[in-house]
């Protein structure tokens, strides 16, 4: 049993609600993506993993009753034949939604049979998701909501860790910080070690890391470092449902990218919060484990069934569901799902 299973589902809204099944419908898409790409576990080809996930997710999304536009997708149309930014998804009926999708957050993890790969999908009312434009990366701090008021993005990391420890009645040495294992974080890692906190290195996939940071029992207390801006928007969808907080700032890799970001109208000095990234009040998030991790178990193939483990969340109600799916391998998952 994973730690996330201990979270209590609560329902705070009673009455007719035509959107309430959307969160469960979205899980069908992440399940399909996770199952299809996990068949390539350990094959070493991350591009094939991504293609398999996209090929499985897209047709399932097409059956969902919604009128969606992909804001966070696989890239521009010419580079991504499916699930590209600006693509319309759903059956074209019902309310309009912004879509943030990563068929596999952790393609390399899947290709190398490493932990924490997930398929993720976020949905928010149309016009409420932040469009990163040319801003590929952002600096992020992700913390549980109860300590958000104690966080200053410009404060030394040692001070931030001390504030979190004080707010949670612990010492800094009790804290565990999730950090992407990248050369750019060498100084950051040195600061964490100097402060005395523990580190959980993420080989890839900081969406899962962000969710871990706000989920009890995962062993992670915060996530920090530079990661993808699209992944930041996806993480914000989950955080809107879980009550966590992301505090971030766009960052440029070089002078040309800096100029492109500024020319596009973005402010590199602006501090972005969870609600800046996803401002809608009716946010849905779905995730299915591809490989085993602290958050979710990966796909299991057995003689007479395929088992998946997924999260389904909604911000309006505060409901968080852990779903174990048992699929019949003799029936077409992608056609009859």
**Is 87 marked as a binding-site residue?**
no
Quick one: pLDDT at residue 336?
Answer: 41
Q: Known binder of ligand: residue 248? A: no
DSSP letters of 145-160? Answer: GGGGGG--TTS-HHHH
Question: Is residue 182 annotated as involved in ligand binding?
Answer: yes
Question: Which pLDDT score is estimated for 19?
Answer: 63
Given this model, what pLDDT does residue 224 score? Answer: 97
* Mean pLDDT on 124-151: 93
User: What does CATH list as the number for 137-277?
Assistant: 3.40.190.90
Q: Is 191 annotated as a binding residue?
A: no
Four-point Cα dihedral 205, 120, 285, 69, nearest 10? 120
pLDDT (mean) for 95-112: 95
Q: What is the pLDDT of residues 139-161, one digit of tens each?
A: 999 999 888 888 899 999 999 99
Q: Grade residue 21 by pLDDT with cuts at 50, 70 and 90.
A: confident
Please tell me whether 107 is known to bind a ligand: yes
Mean pLDDT of 162-187: 95
Q: By CB neighbour count within 10 A (0-12 exposed, 13-18 middle, 19+ buried), where does 21 fall?
A: exposed
Instruction: Decide if pLDDT at 11 tops 50.
Output: no
Spatial separation of the C-alpha atoms in residues 252 and 276, rounded to whole Å: 19
Q: Does the annotation flag 316 for ligand binding?
A: no
Q: Is 204 marked within a binding site? A: yes
Helix, strand or coil for residue 222?
strand
Alpha-carbon distance of 34 to 51, in angstroms, equals 12
**pLDDT of residue 17 exceeding 80:** no
Backbone angles phi, psi at 325, to 5 degrees: -100, 135
Please give the pLDDT value at position 199. 98
What integer is the mean pLDDT of 43-48? 95
- The CATH topology of domain 22-127+283-327 is Fructose-1,6-Bisphosphatase; Chain A, domain 1 (3.30.540)
Domains 22-127+283-327 and 137-277 in one fold? no
For strands 176-180 and 222-228, give the pairing: parallel
Q: What is the pLDDT of residue 335?
A: 41
Q: How far is CA 4 from the centre of its chain?
A: 15
Binding residue per annotation — 267? no
Q: Once rounded to an integer, what is the mean pLDDT over residues 214-238?
A: 95
Asked whether residue 231 is marked as a ligand-binding residue, the answer is yes
Going from N- to C-terminal start, the domains of the chain cover 22-127+283-327, 137-277
Instruction: State yes or no: 183 annotated in a binding site.
Output: yes
* The two structure tokens encoding residue 324: 């174990």
- 84 among the known binding-site residues? no
- pLDDT value of position 76: 67
> 116 a known binding residue?
no
> Is 105 annotated as belonging to a binding site?
yes
Residue 8 has pLDDT above 60, yes or no: no
DSSP 8-state code for residue 116:
-
Strand segments, DSSP code E, in 47-109 are 67-72, 88-89, 96-105
pLDDT of 285: 97
Q: Which of 53-57, 90-94, 224-228 has the lowest mean pLDDT?
A: 90-94
Mean pLDDT of 194-206: 94
Question: Any known ligand binding at 50?
Answer: yes
Whether pLDDT at 333 is above 80? no
The model's pLDDT over 164-176, given as tens digits with 9 standing for 90+, comes to: 999 889 999 999 9
Answer yes or no: is pLDDT of 234 > 80.
yes
Mean pLDDT of the chain: 90
């Amino acid at each position: 049993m994973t730690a996330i299973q201990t979270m209590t589902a609560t329902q705070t809204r009673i009455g007719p609600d035509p959107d309430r099944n959307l969160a469960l419908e979205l899980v069908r898409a992440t399940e399909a993506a996770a199952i299809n790409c996990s068949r390539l576990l350990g094959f070493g080809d991350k591009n094939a993993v991504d293609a398999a996930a996209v090929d499985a997710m897209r047709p399932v999304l097409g059956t969902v009753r919604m009128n969606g536009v992909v804001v966070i997708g696989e890239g521009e149309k010419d580079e991504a034949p499916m699930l590209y930014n600006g693509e319309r998804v759903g059956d074209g009926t019902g309310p309009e939604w912004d879509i943030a999708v990563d068929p596999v957050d952790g393609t390399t993890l899947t290709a190398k049979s490493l932990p924490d790969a997930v398929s993720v999908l976020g949905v928010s009312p149309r016009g409420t998701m932040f469009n990163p434009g040319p801003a590929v990366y952002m600096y992020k701090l992700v913390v549980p909501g109860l300590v958000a008021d104690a966080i200053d993005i410009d404060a030394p990391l040692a001070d931030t860790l001390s504030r979190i420890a004080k707010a949670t009645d612990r010492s800094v040495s009790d804290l565990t910080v999730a950090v992407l294992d990248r050369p750019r974080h060498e100084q950051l890692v040195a600061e964490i070690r100097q402060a005395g906190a523990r580190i959980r290195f993420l080989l890839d996939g900081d969406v899962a890391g962000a969710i871990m940071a706000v989920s009890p029992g995962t062993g992670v207390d915060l996530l920090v470092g530079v990661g993808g801006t699209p992944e930041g928007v996806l993480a914000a969808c989950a955080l809107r449902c879980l009550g966590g907080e992301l505090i971030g700032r766009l960052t440029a890799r070089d002078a040309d990218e800096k100029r492109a970001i500024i020319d596009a109208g973005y402010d590199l000095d602006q501090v972005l919060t969870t609600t800046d990234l996803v401002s809608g009040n009716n946010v849905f998030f779905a995730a299915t484990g591809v490989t085993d991790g602290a958050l979710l178990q990966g796909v299991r193939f057995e003689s007479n069934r395929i088992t998946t483990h997924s999260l389904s969340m909604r911000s309006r109600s505060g409901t968080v569901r852990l779903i174990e799916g048992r699929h019949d391998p003799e029936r077409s998952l992608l056609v009859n799902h």
